[in-house]
Amino acid sequence: MGIIKKIINSITKPRAKYQPLIEVRIFKDALLHNLYTYQQKYPKLQFAPVLKSNAYGHGLVEVAEILDSQDLPFFMVDSFYEALVLRRAGIKSKVLVLGYCREKQLLENPLDNVSFGIIDLEVLKKLSAKLKEPLNIHLKIDTGMHRQGILVEEVEEAIKLIKANQNIILEGVCSHFADADGNSSAFTEKQIQQWNELVKVFKQQFQDIKYFHSANSAGAYYANKTDANICRLGIGLYGFNVFPHESLNLKPALEMRSIITSIKTIPEGEKLGYNITYAAPLQMKTATVPVGYDEGLDRRLSNNGWVKIDDMFCPIVGRVSMNMCSVDVTDVDVKIEDEVIVISSHREDKNSVKSVAKETGQTVYEILVKIPWYLKRIIT
């Protein structure tokens, strides 16, 4: 009876077509262009795409599907959950989970072709004592970031623990540059020196380590000085060069679009929005766009930001609300359901990620990852 009930429920379930009011467009050609740009610029390195935090707001599965056919060493994520999502979505590429995983997940790992970062000596001790099935690990070493990784003085003990259990397969060794995108290279050079000495130690102790990696996107610049064969490509993959001393022809890969849902005329002197922070200087025409701070439109853009309609920049007027904002369309011929570009993929536009970050005193990372996961991503 249970199976019959499920079939009936499936047949009688409402089937309604739904076109969302907001779409996040992901440009496949831009993503691949950025990847190829790095590959050509730094031929010494292989590049492992960083897909954590919903692929920096671009869509975890969507970006993985674009890159799954590329010849890449692995996809890097932060959590076991992200790796699980990729496997459930049918992604075949190798995955590295570089964030913390619970002991049970490591000891009973059900996922194929997934490796795990070991970021603390206590975790390694537990694995050495308890692991009964082969597990690929990347040992993370703290060379100066002081956030994750075993300390340099713990390396000798870590090597003994790995050798004590043949099920621990040391597939990679990694670290993380703390200031690769900074104006001075002094701290990065210091980290590189320490890193290179550690790599020598591991190469002497283990003959079959496949991966050595310490660089993020900005750190690729130091490829010729660093004894490593992998760069973890994060923000650069998505079209943003955060390294101040080198120009790269990258293309932002994301754009957010919505529509106009209301149009009205506001008399001169009338105020609008929460806390009535805006007064019409003259009679004006405004439009409502169903995007607010819940959808990733920063509240600091109230009376301070822009959207793009019919190739014209229209200022945001009044407070950005939770699920909507008002824009000045006095000089634009508009109608209900006309398209609105909320976040532009053209970096010099007033409403690009780069411009919004500058206007709100944030980084491009923050703007991107605040775009909610539930908004529909469309690959174009």
Catalytic residues: 52, 274
The identity of residue 255, as a single letter, is: E
First-to-last C-alpha distance (Å) of the chain: 45
DSSP H helical ranges for 207-293: none
Alpha carbon distance 111, 88 (integer Å): 10
The identity of residue 71, as a single letter, is: D
Q: Is 151 helix (H, G, I), strand (E, B) or coil?
A: strand
Contact 96, 49 (CB under 8 A): no
Q: How long a stretch of residues is the chain?
A: 380
Residue 117 DSSP code: E
Strands (DSSP E) contained in 27-151 are: 46-49, 75-77, 95-97, 114-118, 135-142, 150-151
Alpha carbon distance 287, 308 (integer Å): 12
Q: 257 forms bridges with which residues in the sheet?
A: 23, 341
- 113 Cβ contact list (under 8 Å, min separation 6): 92, 93, 94, 95
Cα angle 108-113-118, degrees, rounded to a multiple of 5? 60
Count of other CB atoms within 10 angstroms of residue 164: 12
What sign for the dihedral angle of Cα 65, 66, 71, 74?
A: negative
The identity of residue 91, as a single letter, is: I
CA 333 to chain centre: 37
Alpha carbon distance 170, 173 (integer Å): 8
Calculate helix-pair angle for 121-130, 155-163, nearest 10 degrees: 20
The two three-digit tokens of residue 92, written as one number: 């075949």
Phi, psi of 33 (to 5 degrees): -60, -45
